[in-house]
Amino acid sequence: MLKASIVVPIYNAGEYIDDCAPSLTGQSLGTDDYEVIYVDDGSTDDSLERLRRLAELHPHVQVHTQENSGWPGKPRNVGVRLARSEYVHFVDQDDEIAPDALERLYDLAVRNDSDIVFGKTYGEMRGPADIFRHHRERCSVEDTDLFETLTPHKMFRRQFLLDNDILFPEGRVRLEDQLFLAHAYPLAKTVSILGEHPSYHWHKRTDGNNNSSTPPRPEDYYGHLRNVVRAIKEHSEPGPVQDRMLRRNYRTEILRPVTEPRVLQRTGEELERYFTIVRDLVREEFPPGVSAGFPAIASLRGHLLETGRLDSLVELARRTRGIALRYEVGTTGWRGGRLTIPVRAWLVRADGQPVTLLRSGDRLLLDPVLLDGVPGVDEWEVKDPFSQVHGEVVVKDTTRSTWWYAENDMVPRLEPLEGDLCHVVLSADAVIDPLKLAGGAPMTPGRHEVWLDTQLLGLGRRPRLTLPKKATKAQLRDARQGSRQAVVGTPPRVVGTGWTGQNQQLELQVSPPRQMPAARALLLRLSTDDRLRTPANAVGRRLPKGLRKRLRRVLKSAGR
């Protein structure tokens, strides 16, 4: 038996077949241990001809053809039936996987006897995904929010799918991926997550022909979502675990049409149509514990939806669309080859004032100014101001469109304001270690952007770290102090930090590892590490003037 099979549904993929094939046919696992199964779904272009040429070149590639079924579900099911392996990995026709992805995923699966293995996704269509932040050998729906990732581009034990009759719906079925996973996740005894190595590369097609590009009718879309919800309930008992599994669908698919920007873009009959469809679906299918577990503003939206207050949802959206994340960045600096970024963040309304909480006896009430004039909402209690709050400094590798998390999460706390008002503030001394940031490995050479990824009171905000337009002298001084180079690792890598571009945004430039004289590397380390620079400067001031000038020239050339 083979170790793994890659299953790829194909329809009019054309040149994308040739572009993506090398990543599939050249896996490190070895051609004797895996196969690539292309299932052509009645393509009308030259896709089948391209596939047959591939099969002639690569004995571990097989091609199956069938009449057009209209969607990827049937080709994937056919691929599972044809597979001769222990595990199957689904890949879309326009995507790629890392050269060692199959080997790493299979080893993780065998080590833990896993039914499903997630590989870290990256690419043009992805932001940071918290579920891939940490490597997990073993988890399940009981202890992990698996439903935060609902794409099928994962590795599955083939026998697990066959024994439980887990199939993709066939034909033109929206959310077919979600329905497949709604059956698979609750039944999986062990799930593993390879979070430390980017495995699956999503591509956004330039011709706009990704499978999910065409918008569906709302009646069809939410009819298919109803099937997803029912599948989750079919495989779980009512209670906290089921509520958590359903929460992502409520937050994303249900609340999306009644939240900015969409609730403000639609008007009249179209808006009423979407509102009625999602309201009825919530009332008929979602247990009350689902929306009750949301943070403040999201739970308010759920309440207004369930009580039929479209007018209130529209007015609330007008106000929340102007809420932004305000943040302060302290003095960044290199210490022991690690970059420290002190940062504080909080939400502000469109008028620039903090989004507040009002103390009323032993209760906390959501910002009275924000809610003033929202029909039917006199007040809204915030039962837990830290519910689902998180904040992280995240780094985007622009070369690979991969996101990594800095050390030290932002910690929430309530800070007092005037009178009985307070607000939630996130703060941290985030640390970027260039030698370990990328899943324990060094950062790749190239440009890396620094962002904040936050969730406060049910509002997600992800700004790139930028100097204020009217920065104070102190802020400019701190920025200059943080704009330095560091030398890390052996052989040395030069990492430059600075506030760059017209908007003065924080980024890191990482050089490839390179050889340099040991003395030059030492001098550059002394000049850039905050812990060493002060005593080194004190020594330097005692040197003769000519020697000091020569030393400066050496340091300048060392960073080139």
Report the 10 Å Cβ neighbour count for 172. Answer: 12
Return the half-sphere exposure (C-beta side, CA atoms, 13 A cut-off) of residue 364. Answer: 18
Whether 536 has a pLDDT exceeding 70, the answer reads: no
Q: What is the pLDDT of residue 391?
A: 97
Strand 333-335 relative to strand 338-348, pairing: antiparallel
In Å, how far from its chain's centre is CA 323?
22
Cα–Cα distance measured from residue 349 to residue 477, given in angstroms and rounded to the nearest whole number:
28
- Give the pLDDT mean for 50-68: 97
Span of 209-223, 241-255, 399-413 with lowest mean pLDDT: 209-223
Gyration radius (Cα) of the chain, Å: 27
Closest CA to 463 of 473, 454, 471: 454
Cα–Cα distance measured from residue 165 to residue 168, given in angstroms and rounded to the nearest whole number:
10
Closest CA to 479 of 329, 352, 346: 329
- Comma-separated ranges of CATH 3.90.550.10 domains in the chain: 2-202
Q: What is the pLDDT of residue 485?
A: 84
- Give the pLDDT mean for 170-196: 97
Whether 538 has a pLDDT exceeding 60, the answer reads: no
Is cis: bond before 152, omega within 30 of 0? no
Q: What is the pLDDT of residue 55?
A: 97
Q: How far is CA 69 from CA 62, 169, 277, in A?
A: 20, 11, 28
Kindly provide the residue ranges of all beta strands, DSSP E only, lying in 82-135, ordered along the sequence: 85-90, 96-97, 116-123
Whether 322 has a pLDDT exceeding 90, the answer reads: yes
Whether 54 has a pLDDT exceeding 70, the answer reads: yes
pTM given for the model = 0.90
Q: What is the pLDDT of residue 15?
A: 95
Whether 481 has a pLDDT exceeding 90, the answer reads: no
Q: Which two tokens stand for residue 367?
A: 């910002």
Cα–Cα distance measured from residue 157 to residue 117, given in angstroms and rounded to the nearest whole number:
9
Closest CA to 247 of 136, 387, 409, 137: 387
Span of 1-10, 204-213, 331-340, 372-381 with lowest mean pLDDT: 204-213
Query: Per-residue pLDDT tens for 383-418?
Result: 999 999 999 999 999 998 999 999 999 999 999 999
Binned at pLDDT 50, 70 and 90, residue 559 comes out as very low
> How many distinct helices (H) and strands (E) make up the chain?
18, 23
pLDDT cut 90: percent of the chain above it: 81
Asked whether the CA dihedral 550, 551, 554, 559 is positive or negative, the reply is negative
Element holding 463 (H helix, E strand): none
Query: At 36, which amino acid appears?
Result: V
Cα–Cα distance measured from residue 465 to residue 443, given in angstroms and rounded to the nearest whole number:
19
pLDDT cut 70: percent of the chain above it: 89
- Give the pLDDT mean for 280-308: 97
Q: What is the pLDDT of residue 527?
A: 54
Whether 195 has a pLDDT exceeding 60, the answer reads: yes
Helix (H/G/I), strand (E/B), else coil: 450: strand
Query: At 434, which amino acid appears?
Result: P
- Give the pLDDT mean for 419-434: 98
Whether 424 has a pLDDT exceeding 80, the answer reads: yes
Q: Which two tokens stand for residue 162?
A: 């066959």
Phi-psi region of 229 (alpha: psi -120 to 50; beta: other; left: phi over 0): alpha
Kindly provide the residue ranges of all beta strands, DSSP E only, lying in 349-410, ordered along the sequence: 357-360, 363-366, 390-397, 402-405
Whether 125 has a pLDDT exceeding 90, the answer reads: no
Highest mean pLDDT among 123-137, 328-342, 411-425: 411-425
Q: Which two tokens stand for residue 328?
A: 């302060």
Span of 355-369, 448-462, 496-510 with lowest mean pLDDT: 496-510
358 or 526: which leads in pLDDT: 358
Whether 347 has a pLDDT exceeding 90, the answer reads: yes
Whether 478 has a pLDDT exceeding 60, the answer reads: yes
Is cis: bond before 261, omega within 30 of 0? yes
Closest CA to 29 of 84, 102, 112: 102
- Give the pLDDT mean for 408-432: 98
Phi, psi (degrees; rounded to nearest 5) at 44: -110, 0
Binned at pLDDT 50, 70 and 90, residue 472 comes out as confident
Q: What is the pLDDT of residue 442?
A: 96
Whether 535 has a pLDDT exceeding 60, the answer reads: no
Q: What is the pLDDT of residue 261?
A: 96
Cα–Cα distance measured from residue 121 to residue 364, given in angstroms and rounded to the nearest whole number:
39
Q: How much is the mean pLDDT over the chain?
A: 92
Binned at pLDDT 50, 70 and 90, residue 514 comes out as confident
Please check whether residue 86 is in contact with residue 20, taking contact to mean a CB–CB distance below 8 angstroms.
no
Whether 555 has a pLDDT exceeding 60, the answer reads: no
Q: What is the pLDDT of residue 547?
A: 64
Binned at pLDDT 50, 70 and 90, residue 503 comes out as confident
Whether 212 has a pLDDT exceeding 70, the answer reads: no
Q: Which two tokens stand for residue 159?
A: 């026998």
CATH architecture of 2-202: Alpha-Beta Complex (3.90)
Binned at pLDDT 50, 70 and 90, residue 35 comes out as very high
- Give the pLDDT mean for 120-135: 88
Helix ranges restricted to H, 64-146: 73-82, 101-112
